[in-house]
Amino acid sequence: MMPSAVRLKLDSITKEYPGCRANDGVSLEIKAGEIHALLGENGAGKSTLMKVLYGVVQPDGGSIIWDGKPIQVESPAHARQLGIGMVFQHFALFETLTVAENIALGLPAYQSRDRAKLDATIREVSQRYGMALDPRRYVNTLSTGEQQRVEIVRCLIQESTLLILDEPTSVLTPQEVDTLFDTLRQLAAEGCSIVFISHKLREVRALCHTATVLRQGRVTGECRPADVSVDDIARLMVGNHTPLQTRVSAAEPGAPLMQVQELSHRTKDPFGTALRAINFDLRAGEILGIAGVAGNGQDELLRALSGEIRSAAQSVVLAGANIGNRSPGQRRKLGLAVVPEERLGRGAVPTLSLMHNTLLTAYHQGLLTGPWVRYGRVRELALRICDAFGVRSAGIHSPANSLSGGNLQKFILGREALQKPRVLVASHPTWGVDVGSAVAIHEALVELRDQGAAVLLISEDLDELYQLCTRIGAICAGRLSPLAPTSQVSIEQLGQWMAGEFESSDSEEAGHVAA
């Protein structure tokens, strides 16, 4: 096939759900050897379109042309037979199986039966594309970047000629991103087409040949990312009236509000991460950033600070009080607020209304009289959250799981911020949200900082950390790197810290960091 041949054409794809037209006449073309970005806000229709292409759902209208022939993709298995592979944002791997066993699960019997031959194929394919893998290693021993390699190599062994990648860099260090991009460019040069779904527009400009932008289920623009600015692409996504960046003034931190001292935790989860002598101070009027690849102790650290994990009383000190052994409710009364990574299930109860979800963590804000709920005040606070943070919903009686990811995240952050906490711990607050929602969330964090609160920001978005944080560090395998002023930490240095390459003497806080 010539490199300029059209591999995939979607013509007027329409998909409706009750009360929502997710795709409204979407058309696009992807050529052989082309890296094509698919961009848009949360709820723009990207996921639905890819589900149609991968055979997860059937379209209500329109047609799919594959290598010049009309087709109907019946299922994911059918999509793989056609040569369409997909690497989801959340990997579909069994951690107790080996690399080869995971790959074999997605292959037909004639390819998976001879394990020695499959092992050799995995080694050959992974080395050829600069993603070396040992087929006999168990997945739970692999880094997140290596797990992503397993997913990509599985698609390559399936001889995919169209590869769909959903937010592929959200779990990688900067060095791993560079390696991934080299691999994708090599694949494209050999004729493989790639659909690259991402909110990271600088990466889109650096990698992608073309881009299609969706808004409210429709195509609002197409461009060659290298020929336009990041702001130009963002405007196609969110329109002309949404701010694209947060203005962050210089911070003047005050006295420490929280001290974490030799915080350690042995996890009972076989796939969890133990915390190893974590030390840091969190000061009034600052945002402290902690970077890291997923699965290196971020979740355990948040749980230990929130009270979901108990520790020695003196290991966490809030406003002079030893709270390491106190419950989440007791910590909240002292001024701690938490925005967890998992919106549904931990940040909000999916089937409860926004009003009742307001009550869950803000009940001590005058919403109770003895055992009685003051529903008038609960409604008032829920309405104030939605108004102040621009939460789009059908109303405060809407269940949490009816909101888009960005709107639910704005609601959760608003619920915590309006309680005016002394300390806010936020984990991945803009993960998977669009430009407009991210700006609103960033502005709320900066406003809290300016009001004198201390903010701990745990994030995999390095642009976000560099933009917002006064000081920055990284967590790897449950150990915390040195912390240093953000302006003094290069992206290369931070990437090394994320990979565990640090010594306790490297920072102004060396005396507090365990090696």
* pLDDT value, residue 337: 96
Going 193 to 199 to 201 to 206, the CA torsion angle's sign is negative
**Both tokens assigned to 242:** 């949404």
* pLDDT value, residue 505: 41
Whether 196 and 226 have beta carbons less than 8 Å apart is answered as no
Q: Dihedral through CA 68, CA 72, CA 77, CA 83, nearest 10? A: 10
Q: How far apart are CA 460 and CA 200, in angstroms?
A: 12
Q: How far apart are CA 102 and CA 118, in angstroms?
A: 11
Domains delineated in the chain: 6-238 (3.40.50.300), 256-512 (3.40.50.300)
Instruction: Return the closest-CA partner of residue 167 out of 297, 34, 39.
Output: 39
Mean pLDDT for 281-291 is 96
* pLDDT value, residue 35: 96
pLDDT, tens only, 37-48: 999 877 788 888
* pLDDT value, residue 3: 45
- CB neighbours of 444 closer than 8 A, spacing ≥ 6? 389, 413, 414, 417
Which amino acid makes up residue 88? F
pLDDT band at 482 (very low <50, low <70, confident <90, very high): very high
Instruction: Return the closest-CA partner of residue 388 out of 364, 367, 359, 419.
Output: 419
SS3 325: coil
* pLDDT value, residue 242: 62
- Report whether pLDDT(506) > 50: no
Half-sphere exposure of residue 440: CA atoms within 13 angstroms, side-chain side: 24
Other Cβ atoms closer than 10 A to 338: 25
- Report whether pLDDT(404) > 80: no
- Report whether pLDDT(171) > 70: no
Give the neighbor-by-neighbor strand order of the sheet with 316-318: 275-283, 256-265, 316-318, 321-322
Whether 263 and 275 have beta carbons less than 8 Å apart is answered as yes
Q: How far apart are CA 170 and CA 182, in angstroms?
A: 17
SS3 114: coil
pLDDT, tens only, 73-125: 999 999 999 999 988 766 788 989 999 999 998 888 888 889 899 999 999 99
Mean pLDDT for 495-510 is 69
Q: Chain centroid to CA 276: how far?
A: 25
Using alpha carbons, list the distances in angstroms from residue 84 to 319, 360, 371, 442: 55, 44, 57, 37
pLDDT, tens only, 307-366: 999 999 999 999 899 999 999 999 999 999 999 988 888 899 999 999 999 999 998 888
